Amino acid sequence: MSTKSFADFGVPTVLSSVLAERGITSPTPIQAATLPDSLDGRDVLGRGRTGSGKTYAFLIPLVARLVASGRRPRKGAPRALILAPTRELVGQIEEALVPLAKAANLSTRTVFGGVGQNPQVQALRQGVDVVIACPGRLEDLINQGHCTLGDIEVTVLDEADHMADLGFLPGVRRLLEKTPPKSQRLLFSATLDKAIDVLVKRFLNNPVTHQADSAQSPVATMTHHVLHLQRDHQVPVLVDLTSAPGRTVVFTRTKYGAKALARQLNKSGVPSVELHGNLSQNARTRNMEAFHEGRATTLVATDIAARGIHVDDVSLVVHADPPAEHKAYLHRSGRTARAGNEGSVITLMTDDQVKDVRDLTRAAGIKPTITRIDGAAHPVLKKLAPGDRSTPGGIEFEQPQQSSGKSGGQGKSGGRRRRSGGGAGQGEARAASGQSRGGQSRGGQGGQSQPRKQGSGSGGGNRKPAGRSGAARTSGGGRSSHSASSFSRGR
């Protein structure tokens, strides 16, 4: 943390007071590096690892600029735009923005797929200062005539490298081309590579670049371990680790693997929820709330959760399926050891994954402790996840009543079951281009249907490019020879 206060960097008192109320009094390195230039109106290219404080690094100057200009938004013409790759990250950004916006008397609106578009359209028609959006749905609304970006004063690209990995850059370029060329642009990313350079050269005006840490630096308080085990020991070991005290995030390679593993953990008495692309927005929100509130102690997720999801006090991250490339490993691992807290990262490795894991950790710049274990009774598990084991029972969600028709005119209800292997996975393919049927996204509108049993919903939204439904892919787009999840094979 910087020894200076936010006021020392020229942050308006109304904003620094809001931050102080939330226990944030000193800028992080990425904030201290970028604030002087971003508050001065410069275009900024900022790189910092996950959990480094990038969100406030762009929210503070964004709000300050809108306050200083003193304009009011026209109907359908927001004044600021924040683009992010996933619905979850959009929600996280909004949560951080709302207190600042409220203090500055600014209005905000999230825009993403997987929910009905009417509430988003109505908010835009009334006029909104800041839109936080996924690229696909925003393009959809612009193409339908509900929104224009001609009044944008500042544009933020968050997790730009992840948007590149997911194939969203063509849509991002089309959106940036609709913003005024002399408006301020802030681009933040965990890594800076050639894909990001394309955006920088095309859209940033004489940008100032700040890199707050090494591109590969793991968090200093994070320890890395690899457990070499037989495939049939994976589930018993995961049950042991996740039944220890504290919150755990477990990553699988595929959405079907996440669903299967969450079911297995719940069956073993570990309260678990899942997060992946086959869930409706209702189910995603419900599951994250259960994890935030502590009703579920384990979150089983695909790489959709590797970016932007912040949950306090995640003590353990487990790679049940090793990712195929190092960027995914670092971003997954960044769910723990945040804001100076300690955390442990464990990778499960079977005999056929030894070379993959060795290459992965070398590329990530870490030297994990490798231990060969023969099951859940191995003493190293208590060292990695200390404390008494507890299996109070799995999570059960209320079954929804069957609906005979469409919900509220917004497409199919998010609570209705789809046939596994279709539905939402195919919906993922549509939204990277922003085109869903008739401009409407499939998936239930928030609050319209009761949640069904955990993990059975589906939904569309901002999705991966076409042709990837059901495929095992990482945030880097790589594919390993061992890409299929161990937990989606009927285990």
Write down the pLDDT at residue 142: 97
Same domain flag for 122 and 203: yes
Write down the pLDDT at residue 162: 80
Same domain flag for 86 and 14: yes
* CATH code of the domain in which 76 resides: 3.40.50.300
Same domain flag for 227 and 207: no
Q: Structure tokens of 372?
A: 């060969």
At residue 74, the 3 state secondary structure works out as strand
Tell me how far apart the terminal alpha carbons of the chain are, to the nearest angstrom.
Answer: 46
* 103 within a domain of the structure (yes/no): yes
Structural domain for 377, as ranges: 222-253+302-388
Domain boundary among 388, 405, 426: 388
Write down the pLDDT at residue 306: 56
Q: Which residues on adjacent β-strands are paired with residue 208?
A: 44
Q: Structure tokens of 7?
A: 């006021």
* Rounded Cα–Cα distance for residues 137 and 117 (Å): 8
* 55 within a domain of the structure (yes/no): yes
Place of tokens 């059960």: 396
Write down the pLDDT at residue 179: 97
Write down the pLDDT at residue 314: 82
Same domain flag for 80 and 116: yes
Cα-only R_g, the chain: 22
Q: How much of the chain is helix, strand and coil, in % rounded to 5?
A: 35, 15, 50
Residue-level length of the chain: 491
Same domain flag for 196 and 228: no
Other Cβ atoms within 10 Å of 308 Cβ, number? 24
Phi and psi at residue 348, to the nearest 5°: -85, 130
* Rounded Cα–Cα distance for residues 134 and 124 (Å): 15
Same domain flag for 29 and 178: yes
Look at the chain and report how many structural domains it folds into.
2
Same domain flag for 204 and 306: no
Q: Identify whether the C-beta of residue 111 lies closer than 8 Å to the C-beta of residue 137.
A: yes
* Rounded Cα–Cα distance for residues 371 and 123 (Å): 54
Which residue intervals of 70-218 are DSSP H helices? 87-103, 118-126, 135-143, 160-165, 169-177, 194-203
* 370 within a domain of the structure (yes/no): yes
* 469 within a domain of the structure (yes/no): no
Element (H, E) at 395: none
At residue 131, the 3 state secondary structure works out as strand
Same domain flag for 51 and 138: yes
Write down the pLDDT at residue 405: 39
Same domain flag for 313 and 356: yes
Q: Identify whether the C-beta of residue 85 lies closer than 8 Å to the C-beta of residue 461.
A: no
Domain boundary among 185, 211, 237: 211
Same domain flag for 149 and 242: no
Domain boundary among 388, 408, 426: 388
Q: Identify whether the C-beta of residue 321 lies closer than 8 Å to the C-beta of residue 349.
A: no
* 72 within a domain of the structure (yes/no): yes
Residue type, 215: A
* 264 within a domain of the structure (yes/no): no
Q: Identify whether the C-beta of residue 48 lies closer than 8 Å to the C-beta of residue 29.
A: yes
Q: Structure tokens of 69?
A: 């200009």
401: left (phi over 0), alpha (psi -120 to 50) or beta: beta
* 447 within a domain of the structure (yes/no): no
Q: Identify whether the C-beta of residue 15 lies closer than 8 Å to the C-beta of residue 64.
A: yes
* 71 within a domain of the structure (yes/no): yes
> What contacts 68, CB < 8 A, 6 or more positions away?
none
Same domain flag for 204 and 68: yes
Consecutive sets of 10 residues in the chain, 491 residues long: mean pLDDT of each?
81 94 90 95 85 88 96 96 91 94 97 93 97 96 97 95 83 96 92 80 92 52 87 96 93 92 96 89 87 92 68 83 82 57 82 94 90 92 93 76 38 35 33 35 35 38 38 37 56 44
Tell me, yes or no, if the pTM score tops 0.85: no
Which 8-state DSSP code applies to residue 197? H
* Rounded Cα–Cα distance for residues 17 and 24 (Å): 9
Same domain flag for 184 and 306: no
